[in-house]
Structure 1
Amino acid sequence: GAELRLTTVLRLASALGVSVAAITRGIGWDPRSGALSLDADPDREPESGPRLGENIRRRRRELGLSQEDVAARTGIYRRHFSAIESGDALPRPITLLVLADGLETDLGELFAGTYDWYVRPLPPPEYAEGEGPPSKAERQERLLRMWAEGRSTRAIADALDLTPSAVGGLINELRAVGIDVPYRHPPTSHAQLGKRLRRRRRSRRRHRASGA
Protein backbone atom coordinates (compact mmCIF):
# COMPACT_ATOMS: atom_id res chain seq x y z
CA GLY A 1 0.00 0.00 0.00
CA ALA A 2 0.94 3.68 0.06
CA GLU A 3 3.54 4.83 2.53
CA LEU A 4 3.86 8.25 4.15
CA ARG A 5 7.03 9.39 5.83
CA LEU A 6 6.54 10.30 9.46
CA THR A 7 8.00 13.75 8.97
CA THR A 8 5.46 14.39 6.22
CA VAL A 9 2.59 13.59 8.55
CA LEU A 10 4.07 15.73 11.32
CA ARG A 11 4.19 18.71 8.97
CA LEU A 12 0.46 18.29 8.41
CA ALA A 13 -0.29 18.59 12.11
CA SER A 14 -3.20 20.90 12.74
CA ALA A 15 -5.78 21.36 15.47
CA LEU A 16 -8.66 20.42 13.20
CA GLY A 17 -10.47 18.49 15.91
CA VAL A 18 -10.34 15.17 14.05
CA SER A 19 -8.11 12.29 15.10
CA VAL A 20 -5.59 10.59 12.88
CA ALA A 21 -7.66 7.45 12.90
CA ALA A 22 -10.73 9.33 11.73
CA ILE A 23 -8.84 10.59 8.69
CA THR A 24 -6.56 7.66 7.91
CA ARG A 25 -8.40 4.57 9.09
CA GLY A 26 -6.26 1.48 9.41
CA ILE A 27 -3.11 3.41 10.12
CA GLY A 28 -0.05 1.38 11.15
CA TRP A 29 3.19 2.64 12.62
CA ASP A 30 6.56 1.12 11.78
CA PRO A 31 8.92 2.47 14.44
CA ARG A 32 11.98 0.98 12.69
CA SER A 33 11.52 3.00 9.52
CA GLY A 34 9.57 5.90 10.99
CA ALA A 35 6.96 5.43 8.28
CA LEU A 36 3.20 5.21 8.26
CA SER A 37 1.68 2.35 6.32
CA LEU A 38 -1.92 2.63 5.16
CA ASP A 39 -3.44 -0.81 4.92
CA ALA A 40 -6.05 -2.00 2.48
CA ASP A 41 -8.98 -1.79 4.90
CA PRO A 42 -9.91 1.92 5.15
CA ASP A 43 -13.31 1.13 6.68
CA ARG A 44 -11.88 -0.59 9.75
CA GLU A 45 -13.08 1.16 12.90
CA PRO A 46 -10.24 2.41 15.10
CA GLU A 47 -9.76 0.68 18.41
CA SER A 48 -9.48 2.50 21.66
CA GLY A 49 -5.95 3.22 22.72
CA PRO A 50 -3.76 5.41 24.90
CA ARG A 51 -3.47 9.11 24.28
CA LEU A 52 -0.19 10.64 23.18
CA GLY A 53 0.39 12.27 26.57
CA GLU A 54 -0.12 8.94 28.33
CA ASN A 55 2.58 7.33 26.20
CA ILE A 56 4.94 10.20 26.96
CA ARG A 57 4.23 9.94 30.70
CA ARG A 58 4.74 6.18 30.68
CA ARG A 59 8.07 6.49 28.89
CA ARG A 60 9.22 9.19 31.31
CA ARG A 61 8.41 6.97 34.28
CA GLU A 62 10.15 4.00 32.66
CA LEU A 63 13.32 6.09 32.69
CA GLY A 64 12.72 7.19 36.28
CA LEU A 65 12.60 10.85 35.30
CA SER A 66 10.60 13.69 36.79
CA GLN A 67 8.99 16.38 34.67
CA GLU A 68 11.78 18.71 35.79
CA ASP A 69 14.36 16.18 34.56
CA VAL A 70 12.75 16.06 31.12
CA ALA A 71 12.56 19.85 31.01
CA ALA A 72 16.28 20.06 31.78
CA ARG A 73 17.10 17.46 29.13
CA THR A 74 15.02 18.99 26.36
CA GLY A 75 14.84 22.70 27.11
CA ILE A 76 11.03 22.52 27.09
CA TYR A 77 9.35 24.50 29.87
CA ARG A 78 8.15 22.15 32.60
CA ARG A 79 4.68 23.72 32.59
CA HIS A 80 4.33 23.14 28.84
CA PHE A 81 5.60 19.57 29.17
CA SER A 82 3.07 18.93 31.94
CA ALA A 83 0.30 20.22 29.66
CA ILE A 84 1.45 17.86 26.89
CA GLU A 85 1.35 14.89 29.25
CA SER A 86 -2.13 15.78 30.47
CA GLY A 87 -3.42 16.32 26.93
CA ASP A 88 -4.07 20.04 27.48
CA ALA A 89 -1.48 21.11 24.89
CA LEU A 90 -0.85 19.89 21.36
CA PRO A 91 2.92 19.79 20.81
CA ARG A 92 4.49 21.13 17.65
CA PRO A 93 6.35 18.63 15.43
CA ILE A 94 9.76 19.96 16.46
CA THR A 95 8.75 19.62 20.13
CA LEU A 96 7.87 15.96 19.55
CA LEU A 97 11.22 15.32 17.90
CA VAL A 98 13.03 16.90 20.86
CA LEU A 99 10.91 14.91 23.33
CA ALA A 100 11.58 11.62 21.56
CA ASP A 101 15.31 12.29 21.75
CA GLY A 102 15.15 13.36 25.40
CA LEU A 103 13.13 10.27 26.31
CA GLU A 104 15.56 7.99 24.44
CA THR A 105 12.91 6.62 22.12
CA ASP A 106 11.47 7.27 18.66
CA LEU A 107 8.31 8.92 17.42
CA GLY A 108 6.76 5.61 16.45
CA GLU A 109 6.84 4.46 20.07
CA LEU A 110 5.40 7.73 21.34
CA PHE A 111 2.52 7.50 18.88
CA ALA A 112 1.94 3.75 19.22
CA GLY A 113 -1.79 3.05 19.51
CA THR A 114 -2.78 6.69 19.97
CA TYR A 115 -5.88 8.28 18.51
CA ASP A 116 -5.65 11.87 19.67
CA TRP A 117 -3.12 13.30 17.22
CA TYR A 118 -4.53 15.76 14.77
CA VAL A 119 -3.65 16.25 11.12
CA ARG A 120 -5.03 18.21 8.21
CA PRO A 121 -4.42 16.31 4.97
CA LEU A 122 -3.31 18.64 2.18
CA PRO A 123 -3.55 17.91 -1.54
CA PRO A 124 -0.21 17.11 -3.18
CA PRO A 125 1.35 19.96 -5.15
CA GLU A 126 0.39 20.06 -8.80
CA TYR A 127 3.11 20.06 -11.43
CA ALA A 128 2.89 20.38 -15.18
CA GLU A 129 3.32 17.18 -17.17
CA GLY A 130 6.94 16.10 -17.21
CA GLU A 131 7.86 18.39 -14.33
CA GLY A 132 8.51 17.65 -10.68
CA PRO A 133 9.42 19.43 -7.47
CA PRO A 134 12.26 21.96 -7.79
CA SER A 135 15.77 20.76 -7.09
CA LYS A 136 17.78 22.06 -4.15
CA ALA A 137 19.86 24.23 -6.50
CA GLU A 138 16.70 25.73 -8.01
CA ARG A 139 15.32 26.47 -4.54
CA GLN A 140 18.57 28.14 -3.53
CA GLU A 141 18.53 30.28 -6.68
CA ARG A 142 14.95 31.37 -6.04
CA LEU A 143 15.73 31.98 -2.38
CA LEU A 144 18.61 34.32 -3.25
CA ARG A 145 16.44 36.25 -5.68
CA MET A 146 13.56 36.67 -3.22
CA TRP A 147 15.95 37.50 -0.37
CA ALA A 148 17.46 40.29 -2.49
CA GLU A 149 13.93 41.56 -3.14
CA GLY A 150 13.40 41.90 0.61
CA ARG A 151 10.82 39.13 0.89
CA SER A 152 10.23 37.81 4.41
CA THR A 153 11.35 34.35 5.50
CA ARG A 154 7.70 33.29 5.80
CA ALA A 155 6.93 34.49 2.26
CA ILE A 156 9.97 32.66 0.90
CA ALA A 157 9.00 29.49 2.77
CA ASP A 158 5.50 29.60 1.29
CA ALA A 159 6.85 30.19 -2.22
CA LEU A 160 9.32 27.30 -1.96
CA ASP A 161 6.92 24.95 -0.14
CA LEU A 162 9.29 24.78 2.82
CA THR A 163 9.12 25.54 6.52
CA PRO A 164 10.75 28.78 7.73
CA SER A 165 13.38 26.70 9.57
CA ALA A 166 14.21 24.89 6.31
CA VAL A 167 14.69 28.26 4.62
CA GLY A 168 17.07 29.20 7.42
CA GLY A 169 18.95 25.95 6.83
CA LEU A 170 19.36 26.75 3.13
CA ILE A 171 20.64 30.23 3.99
CA ASN A 172 23.20 28.78 6.42
CA GLU A 173 24.37 26.30 3.78
CA LEU A 174 24.83 29.10 1.25
CA ARG A 175 26.82 31.18 3.73
CA ALA A 176 28.95 28.15 4.63
CA VAL A 177 30.18 27.85 1.04
CA GLY A 178 30.98 31.55 0.80
CA ILE A 179 27.83 32.88 -0.88
CA ASP A 180 26.92 36.30 0.48
CA VAL A 181 23.43 36.26 1.96
CA PRO A 182 23.19 39.60 3.79
CA TYR A 183 21.93 39.52 7.35
CA ARG A 184 18.63 41.31 7.80
CA HIS A 185 19.67 42.10 11.36
CA PRO A 186 23.35 41.94 12.36
CA PRO A 187 23.96 38.83 14.49
CA THR A 188 24.49 39.51 18.16
CA SER A 189 27.70 38.13 19.66
CA HIS A 190 27.96 36.58 23.11
CA ALA A 191 30.05 39.58 24.19
CA GLN A 192 27.29 41.97 23.11
CA LEU A 193 24.69 39.90 24.93
CA GLY A 194 26.86 39.99 28.05
CA LYS A 195 27.14 43.78 27.87
CA ARG A 196 23.37 44.12 27.50
CA LEU A 197 22.80 41.87 30.51
CA ARG A 198 25.25 43.82 32.65
CA ARG A 199 23.62 47.13 31.66
CA ARG A 200 20.20 45.78 32.61
CA ARG A 201 21.49 44.58 35.97
CA ARG A 202 23.07 47.96 36.72
CA SER A 203 19.84 49.70 35.71
CA ARG A 204 17.80 47.47 38.03
CA ARG A 205 20.20 48.10 40.93
CA ARG A 206 19.98 51.87 40.41
CA HIS A 207 16.20 51.63 40.24
CA ARG A 208 16.03 49.67 43.50
CA ALA A 209 18.46 52.09 45.18
CA SER A 210 16.45 55.13 44.12
CA GLY A 211 13.26 53.58 45.48
CA ALA A 212 14.78 52.72 48.83
Structure 2
Amino acid sequence: MKSQAYPESLNVAASTSGSQNLPLDIREVVYNFIATINSSASPINIDAQAERILQASGMCDDPINFQEVERVLQDLTPEDRLAFERLFTNMREAYLELANNPDRDCFSEAEYARYFGDLEQVDLVLEGPNMEKSDVEIVEHLLDQGFSIMSVMEKSRQRSFGERNIQALLENVTPDALATNDRDDENPQC
Protein backbone atom coordinates (compact mmCIF):
# COMPACT_ATOMS: atom_id res chain seq x y z
CA MET A 1 0.00 0.00 0.00
CA LYS A 2 1.32 3.43 -0.89
CA SER A 3 2.04 5.85 1.93
CA GLN A 4 -0.32 8.83 2.16
CA ALA A 5 0.80 12.39 2.75
CA TYR A 6 -1.03 13.74 5.79
CA PRO A 7 -1.95 17.43 5.94
CA GLU A 8 -0.13 19.60 8.46
CA SER A 9 -3.52 20.72 9.78
CA LEU A 10 -3.84 17.29 11.36
CA ASN A 11 -0.51 17.73 13.17
CA VAL A 12 0.96 14.62 11.59
CA ALA A 13 4.67 14.03 11.90
CA ALA A 14 6.34 14.57 8.55
CA SER A 15 9.28 12.34 9.41
CA THR A 16 9.36 8.62 8.79
CA SER A 17 10.46 7.76 12.31
CA GLY A 18 8.45 7.18 15.47
CA SER A 19 4.82 7.17 14.44
CA GLN A 20 5.55 5.02 11.39
CA ASN A 21 5.55 2.02 13.75
CA LEU A 22 1.77 2.03 13.55
CA PRO A 23 0.57 -0.25 10.73
CA LEU A 24 -0.44 1.75 7.68
CA ASP A 25 -3.97 0.34 7.51
CA ILE A 26 -4.98 1.69 10.92
CA ARG A 27 -3.11 4.95 10.21
CA GLU A 28 -5.30 5.36 7.11
CA VAL A 29 -8.46 4.48 9.04
CA VAL A 30 -7.74 6.87 11.90
CA TYR A 31 -6.58 9.62 9.55
CA ASN A 32 -9.75 9.33 7.45
CA PHE A 33 -11.97 9.31 10.54
CA ILE A 34 -10.24 12.33 12.10
CA ALA A 35 -10.24 14.23 8.80
CA THR A 36 -13.98 13.59 8.50
CA ILE A 37 -14.67 14.74 12.07
CA ASN A 38 -12.35 17.78 11.84
CA SER A 39 -14.05 18.88 8.63
CA SER A 40 -17.46 18.74 10.30
CA ALA A 41 -17.56 22.29 11.59
CA SER A 42 -20.64 22.58 9.43
CA PRO A 43 -21.91 19.11 8.52
CA ILE A 44 -23.84 19.05 5.30
CA ASN A 45 -27.59 18.78 5.15
CA ILE A 46 -28.62 19.45 8.74
CA ASP A 47 -31.58 21.54 9.82
CA ALA A 48 -31.29 24.96 11.47
CA GLN A 49 -31.91 23.56 14.96
CA ALA A 50 -29.10 21.02 14.56
CA GLU A 51 -26.79 23.73 13.22
CA ARG A 52 -27.47 25.89 16.31
CA ILE A 53 -26.82 22.94 18.64
CA LEU A 54 -23.55 22.11 16.90
CA GLN A 55 -22.32 25.72 16.95
CA ALA A 56 -23.31 26.24 20.60
CA SER A 57 -21.50 23.10 21.71
CA GLY A 58 -18.13 24.44 20.60
CA MET A 59 -17.05 20.88 19.80
CA CYS A 60 -15.77 21.87 16.39
CA ASP A 61 -13.50 24.52 17.92
CA ASP A 62 -11.24 21.80 19.36
CA PRO A 63 -9.87 19.72 16.46
CA ILE A 64 -8.43 16.28 17.02
CA ASN A 65 -4.65 15.91 17.07
CA PHE A 66 -3.85 12.96 14.78
CA GLN A 67 -0.32 12.61 16.08
CA GLU A 68 -1.49 12.15 19.68
CA VAL A 69 -4.11 9.57 18.71
CA GLU A 70 -1.56 7.74 16.60
CA ARG A 71 0.92 7.66 19.49
CA VAL A 72 -1.71 6.11 21.78
CA LEU A 73 -2.78 3.49 19.25
CA GLN A 74 0.73 2.31 18.43
CA ASP A 75 1.12 0.92 21.96
CA LEU A 76 -1.97 -1.31 21.68
CA THR A 77 -1.87 -5.04 21.08
CA PRO A 78 -2.73 -6.08 17.51
CA GLU A 79 -6.10 -7.44 18.73
CA ASP A 80 -6.99 -4.19 20.53
CA ARG A 81 -5.79 -2.13 17.58
CA LEU A 82 -8.11 -4.12 15.31
CA ALA A 83 -11.10 -3.26 17.53
CA PHE A 84 -10.23 0.44 17.23
CA GLU A 85 -9.73 0.10 13.48
CA ARG A 86 -13.16 -1.51 13.04
CA LEU A 87 -14.85 1.08 15.27
CA PHE A 88 -13.27 4.06 13.50
CA THR A 89 -14.05 2.60 10.07
CA ASN A 90 -17.66 1.94 11.03
CA MET A 91 -18.11 5.32 12.72
CA ARG A 92 -16.86 7.05 9.58
CA GLU A 93 -19.31 5.00 7.50
CA ALA A 94 -22.11 5.97 9.92
CA TYR A 95 -21.19 9.65 9.61
CA LEU A 96 -21.10 9.44 5.81
CA GLU A 97 -24.44 7.60 5.76
CA LEU A 98 -26.03 10.47 7.68
CA ALA A 99 -24.22 13.17 5.71
CA ASN A 100 -25.03 11.73 2.29
CA ASN A 101 -28.65 10.73 2.96
CA PRO A 102 -30.52 13.72 4.38
CA ASP A 103 -33.91 12.12 3.69
CA ARG A 104 -33.32 9.08 5.88
CA ASP A 105 -34.62 8.43 9.40
CA CYS A 106 -32.39 7.78 12.41
CA PHE A 107 -30.37 4.56 12.62
CA SER A 108 -32.20 1.28 13.19
CA GLU A 109 -31.10 -1.16 15.91
CA ALA A 110 -29.37 -3.26 13.25
CA GLU A 111 -27.48 -0.20 12.01
CA TYR A 112 -26.42 0.70 15.56
CA ALA A 113 -25.10 -2.84 16.02
CA ARG A 114 -23.25 -2.67 12.70
CA TYR A 115 -21.73 0.78 13.15
CA PHE A 116 -21.02 0.74 16.89
CA GLY A 117 -20.76 -2.95 17.76
CA ASP A 118 -17.05 -2.70 18.58
CA LEU A 119 -17.55 0.07 21.14
CA GLU A 120 -17.83 -2.38 24.04
CA GLN A 121 -14.44 -3.94 23.24
CA VAL A 122 -12.89 -0.49 22.80
CA ASP A 123 -14.31 0.57 26.19
CA LEU A 124 -12.74 -2.52 27.80
CA VAL A 125 -9.36 -1.56 26.33
CA LEU A 126 -9.73 2.04 27.55
CA GLU A 127 -10.66 0.83 31.06
CA GLY A 128 -7.83 -1.71 31.13
CA PRO A 129 -4.69 -1.50 33.25
CA ASN A 130 -2.40 -0.87 30.25
CA MET A 131 -3.87 2.54 29.38
CA GLU A 132 -2.58 5.74 30.94
CA LYS A 133 -5.29 8.19 31.98
CA SER A 134 -3.94 10.87 29.64
CA ASP A 135 -4.02 8.40 26.73
CA VAL A 136 -7.59 7.41 27.54
CA GLU A 137 -8.57 11.10 27.51
CA ILE A 138 -7.06 11.55 24.03
CA VAL A 139 -9.05 8.65 22.58
CA GLU A 140 -12.21 9.60 24.47
CA HIS A 141 -11.95 13.14 23.08
CA LEU A 142 -11.90 11.73 19.56
CA LEU A 143 -14.82 9.38 20.25
CA ASP A 144 -16.82 12.09 22.05
CA GLN A 145 -16.49 14.47 19.12
CA GLY A 146 -17.44 11.79 16.64
CA PHE A 147 -20.47 10.66 18.62
CA SER A 148 -21.59 14.23 19.37
CA ILE A 149 -21.51 15.27 15.73
CA MET A 150 -23.32 12.11 14.63
CA SER A 151 -25.92 12.53 17.37
CA VAL A 152 -26.74 16.05 16.17
CA MET A 153 -26.92 14.85 12.58
CA GLU A 154 -29.06 11.83 13.46
CA LYS A 155 -31.55 13.94 15.42
CA SER A 156 -31.75 16.30 12.45
CA ARG A 157 -32.51 13.35 10.16
CA GLN A 158 -35.13 12.03 12.56
CA ARG A 159 -36.87 15.42 12.85
CA SER A 160 -36.97 16.03 9.11
CA PHE A 161 -38.09 12.45 8.43
CA GLY A 162 -40.94 12.84 10.92
CA GLU A 163 -41.93 16.22 9.49
CA ARG A 164 -42.06 14.77 5.98
CA ASN A 165 -44.24 11.87 7.17
CA ILE A 166 -46.64 14.24 8.91
CA GLN A 167 -46.76 16.46 5.83
CA ALA A 168 -47.52 13.45 3.62
CA LEU A 169 -50.34 12.40 5.95
CA LEU A 170 -51.78 15.91 5.99
CA GLU A 171 -51.66 16.10 2.20
CA ASN A 172 -53.71 12.90 1.97
CA VAL A 173 -56.37 13.93 4.48
CA THR A 174 -59.56 15.14 2.83
CA PRO A 175 -62.67 16.60 4.45
CA ASP A 176 -64.55 13.44 3.42
CA ALA A 177 -61.99 11.22 5.18
CA LEU A 178 -62.31 13.29 8.34
CA ALA A 179 -66.11 13.08 8.22
CA THR A 180 -65.92 9.30 7.76
CA ASN A 181 -63.72 8.97 10.85
CA ASP A 182 -66.22 10.96 12.95
CA ARG A 183 -69.06 8.54 12.13
CA ASP A 184 -67.06 5.40 12.90
CA ASP A 185 -67.86 5.24 16.64
CA GLU A 186 -67.91 1.43 16.70
CA ASN A 187 -64.16 1.07 16.08
CA PRO A 188 -62.31 4.00 17.66
CA GLN A 189 -58.70 4.38 16.55
CA CYS A 190 -57.39 5.82 19.81
TM over 0.5: no
With a CA cutoff of 8 Å and minimum separation of 6, indicate the structure with the bigger relative contact order.
2
- TM-score, structure 2 normalization: 0.27
Structure with a larger share of its residues in strand: 1
- TM-score, structure 1 normalization: 0.25
Structure with a larger share of its residues in helix: 2
